[in-house]
Chains A and B, each alone.
Chain A
Amino acid sequence: MRHVLIVCRQNTNEDEVLNMTEKLHAFVDAIKEKNADWVVEVTEGHGEVTVIVPASAIVDVCTFLKHKHDFDLLADLCGGDRGPEEDPRFEVNYHLFSTVHHQRLRLKVLLAEDAASVGTVSDIWRTANWHERETYDLVGVKFEGHPDLRRILLPSDFDGHALRKDYPLRGYEPYSLN
Chain B
Amino acid sequence: MATAVDNFYSASEVLDKPLESEMTLSMGPQHPSTHGVLRLDLRLDGELVVGCIPDIGYLHTGMEKLFEYKKYQQGIVITDRMDYLNPLGNNLAYVMAAEKLLDLEIPERAQVIRVLMCELQRIASHMVWLGTHCLDIGAMSVFFYCFRQREKILNMIESASGGRMTPSYFRIGGLMMDLPAGFENRCRQFLEDFPEALNTFDTLVTGNTIWQSRTKGIGIISKEDAIDWGLTGPSLRGSGVDLDLRRDNPYTGYETYDFEVPVEHDGDVWARFRVRMRELTESYKIVRQALDRLKPGPIKADAPKVVLPDRDDMRKHMDSLIHHFLIVAEGFNVPPGEVYHAIEASKGELGVYMKSNGGPKPERVHFRGPSFVNLAALPLMSEGEMVADVVAIIGSLDIVLGEIDR
- Please pick, from A78, A82, A125, A167, the residue contacting B353 in the complex, using a CB distance under 8 A: A78
Q: Does A36 contact B (CB under 8 A)?
A: no
B residues 313-357 touching A (CB-CB < 8 Å): 337-340, 342, 349, 351, 353, 355
What residues on B are CB-neighbors of A167 within 8 Å?
Answer: 65
Q: Is the CB of A76 within 8 A of B105?
A: no
Interchain CA distance A162-B56 in the complex, whole Å = 17
Q: Mark A92-108, 1 if CB is under 8 A from B, else 0.
A: 01010101001010100
Q: B253 to A152, Cβ gap below 8 A?
A: no
Q: Does A78 lie within 8 Å of B3, measured CB to CB?
A: no
Across the interface, do B7 and A155 meet the contact criterion of CB distance under 8 Å?
Answer: yes
Closest to A50 in B: B338
List of B residues within 8 angstroms of A157 by Cβ: 2-3, 6
Give the shortest distance, in Å, between B56 (CB) and chain A (any CB).
7
Scan B228-260; emit 1 where CB is below 8 A from any A CB, else 0. Answer: 111010000000010100001111110000000
In the complex, B62 has a CB within 8 A of chain A: yes
Return the chain B residue nearest A47 by Cβ: B100
How many chain B residues sit at the interface, stated as a range, is 35 or more
Closest to A4 in B: B108
Q: Is the CB–CB distance between A177 and B2 below 8 Å?
A: yes
Q: Is the interface of A mostly helix, strand, loop or mixed?
A: loop
* Max count, chain A CB within 10 A of own CB: residue among B252, B364, B377: B364
A6-B106 in contact given A76-B366, A80-B355 (Cβ < 8 Å): yes
> Taking beta carbons and an 8 Å cutoff, which residues of A are in contact with B?
1-10, 45-46, 48, 50, 72-76, 78, 80-82, 93, 95, 97, 99, 102, 104, 106, 125-127, 129-131, 134, 138, 148, 150-157, 162-163, 167, 169, 177-178
**17 pairs of residues in contact across A and B, judged by CB atoms under 8 Å:** A2-B302, A3-B298, A8-B100, A8-B252, A75-B232, A78-B364, A81-B364, A82-B363, A102-B248, A102-B249, A130-B373, A131-B373, A152-B56, A153-B57, A154-B60, A155-B7, A177-B1
- On B, residues with C-beta under 8 Å from A are 1-3, 6-7, 9, 56-57, 60, 62, 64-66, 69, 96, 99-101, 103-109, 111, 227-230, 232, 241, 243, 248-253, 295, 297-298, 302, 337-340, 342, 349, 351, 353, 355, 363-364, 366, 368, 372-373, 376-377, 405-406
